[in-house]
Amino acid sequence: MNIILFSRKQVKHNAEQLRTILREIERYGMDYVVNEDLAAVIESLTDIRIAPSHLFSGKPQATGDDVMITYGGDGTLLEGVALLPADNIPVVGINCGRLGYLTADDGQGIKELFDAIAERRLRYEERLMLTTEGMPQECFALNEICIHRYGASMISVETLINDNYVATYHGDGLVISTPTGSTAYSLSAGGPIVEPEATSILITPVCAHDVGSRSIVVSEKRVVSV
């Protein structure tokens, strides 16, 4: 089994928890890779040194028997998901952030978590994800993909579903969301709350300049083009 360990520099890292994670990996004889930012933090907070062969930058390589462990909050987990080299890799979050809504452990049960991983007793929840095409780099999105105006005063987003024209939204942008992301940016823009394990795509305009603009919920089998 290969552990993909990911965190971000801005996370409030706990040195003892980091030691525990690496001790558990060693105890079970697991292979592992660590992103470069986290490796630098580990080396600054502990006496552990990460060998170059255990580092990754960008996307790690898939081995066919991987588990990603993110250390941080929900933002760290979401960023880690975007780096997944394949869409069938389980992701387990250890929370040391503020909310940790998507994470599995609060940092107090790390040994028990590794017991479950090693003994393959993890309980999985399959979540719908989005992928992009026609972008400089394809990526996975667990929460949403957003088209935003940035410096423009207003943008117009022509939207199609399976090549059928739906609407042109004039405003600040458009959120294309998964059910997991229905309680994130989409909700702030007025979208509905959807059960996380549902299989649907939410299309929600952001600050639309049209009183008739509303969220649309479509099947996950559709292709949304903008």
| Catalytic residue list | 74
Residue 105's Cα: distance from chain center in Å? 16
175: Cβ–Cβ under 8 A, 6 or more apart, which residues?
A: 144, 145, 146, 181, 185, 186, 189, 191, 202, 203, 204, 205, 206
Residue burial 44-79, b: 16+ Cβ < 10 Å; e: rest = eeeeeebeeeeebeeebeeeeebbbbbbbbbbbbbb
105: Cβ–Cβ under 8 A, 6 or more apart, which residues?
A: 92, 93, 94, 95, 113
For residue 12, count other CB atoms closer than 10 A to its CB. Answer: 9
